[in-house]
Amino acid sequence: MLHSATGFDGAFSAPHAAAALVGRDILRAGGTAMEAMVSAAATIAVTYPHMNGIGGDGFWLVHRPGQKVVGISACGQAAGLATPEWFAERGYDKAMPTRGALAALTVPGTIGGWEKALSLVADEKRLPLERLLSSAIHYAENGIAVTGNQAQCTADKLSGLRDVPGFADTFLIDGEVPRAGARLCQKPLAATLRRLAAEGLSSYYSGELARTHTAFLEETGSPLRFRDFAAYQARMVDPLHVETAHGRLMNMTPPTQGVASLMILALFDRLGVREAEGFEHLHGLIEATKQAFIVRNAGLGDPDFMAEPAQAWLADDSLDALAAKIDMKTALAWPYEPAEGDTIWMGAADRYGNVVSFIQSVYWEFGSGLTCPETGVFFQNRGAGFSLSPGPNQLAPGKRPFHTLNPALAHLKDGRVMAYGTMGGEGQPQTQAALFSRHVQFGQDLQAAITAPRWLLGRTWGEETTTLKLEDRFDPALVTALKEAGHDVEMLPAFSDAAGHAGAVVLHDNGLMEAATDPRADGLALVD
């Protein structure tokens, strides 16, 4: 039998073991979930670099006892020079560039998010920043053991990355793709992290480090300048929310697709499905996904430019109308262009009652690939999420691009607080729905709900087709039923990366904590 880890003194889930261990260690030392998450975020930026880094973005949901849930939007904005005309002059008038200096067009926001999260901890109780970054510094200086996942990603994406300035010198070994188990050192990144520990996180945007980065970015052709970094601030936001039969579900505001994740579960809640793992469970969630994605694709972007607030999409009458469109016997035809993306999700709970749901990414594997040789920092390609066509997601200076990233958190009616999430681009809302429905609605053990076979509608991380993909552990009779209902089914191998790297942490009202992680990744779920 599969069972989640349980205990009372702290819980941490991460898709890389080193991040989970350092998170547990910070909790054990009396640190808060916010501090544990910053320490783990720095560590995983070093140990899982194909998935995330300090040149990317991040988002937080933070539950604190007796206070409203806080969201932190650490989403970088487009450079002041970044206009459709500027890109058209450089040969991009149809679609945004995806690799290289031109793709590095948004300010990296994640470190600003770390700083905001630490501001939620009283100064006199906060652990020193040097302590929080020490694990990341150690791994960058002394080397990481390259995971099979990183080795495969590097090999698969090398043709588009090899010639990007700084990439090969940083992530190849003697010009070759590192094999799983190889030692990869990132000494310039270690020096950068030491500098941040000494000078403070704000120096990333206003100090000499920012000047070094922006000089490199300008030299290589990026539109980012020092003034873009200096003007950046992560934002505290009120998360989106929706009420269901099981409690209040929360997720991140636009420009993330958090609203789609909430819509899927709210629509499924209305379908009255009573049994897990059958046709109605999978078909219902898949069809709810289609309805949510249609709305998302039509109107989601930087919230300052949307025609109506995303919270309005979660109103009862809007959801009732969408639920009425779902045919519980027949699949809606589904040709559309989905978005790629990879990331890491982590969750934490501490002895003080704080719970954190956190996500951090550079968008595609290794982001833009553009890596500053002096600092070891590579920059995201999140700007590839912009459109060059008119609409809420059209590129403009200072604008935030569409994000697949969305950390989830729920206040359940039985008193539990649940943090959950996954990597996987388009797959994130779908995997969240699979995990939540299995555990909360149908009572499966938390670890069993994550380990169970998953599905994916559309293209996501590592996949090119837009079919309904099923891991091959599903009952063949269920697969046949889905095909007969009109789903264009494609089979994936068991425990496929394409199904995401999920995790969850649950705090019970008696102080019990649970944690679970995904066998598809390289992580751990630890509870003291």
Give catalytic residues, as residue numbers.
343
The H or E element spanning position 506 is strand 502-507
What is the four-CA torsion angle of 214, 215, 216, 221, rounded to 10 degrees? 80
* CA–CA gap between residue 363 and residue 461 (Å, rounded): 10
Which residue matches tokens 């910070």? 26
Q: Which two tokens stand for residue 452?
A: 């169970």
User: Helices (DSSP H) in 83-199: which residue ranges?
Assistant: 84-88, 110-118, 129-142, 148-161, 167-171, 187-199
The long-range contacts involving 227-231, CB below 8 angstroms and separated by at least 24 positions, are: 227/80, 228/77, 228/79, 228/80, 228/107, 229/107, 229/204, 229/205, 230/205, 230/206
- The total number of residues shown for the chain amounts to 528
Radius of gyration of the chain (CA): 21
* CA–CA gap between residue 24 and residue 16 (Å, rounded): 13
* CA–CA gap between residue 472 and residue 197 (Å, rounded): 46
* CA–CA gap between residue 484 and residue 221 (Å, rounded): 52
Q: Which two tokens stand for residue 486?
A: 């009109």
Instruction: Return the sign of the alpha-carbon dihedral for residues 296, 301, 302, 305.
Output: negative
Q: Residue 492 in contact with residue 425, Cβ under 8 Å?
A: no
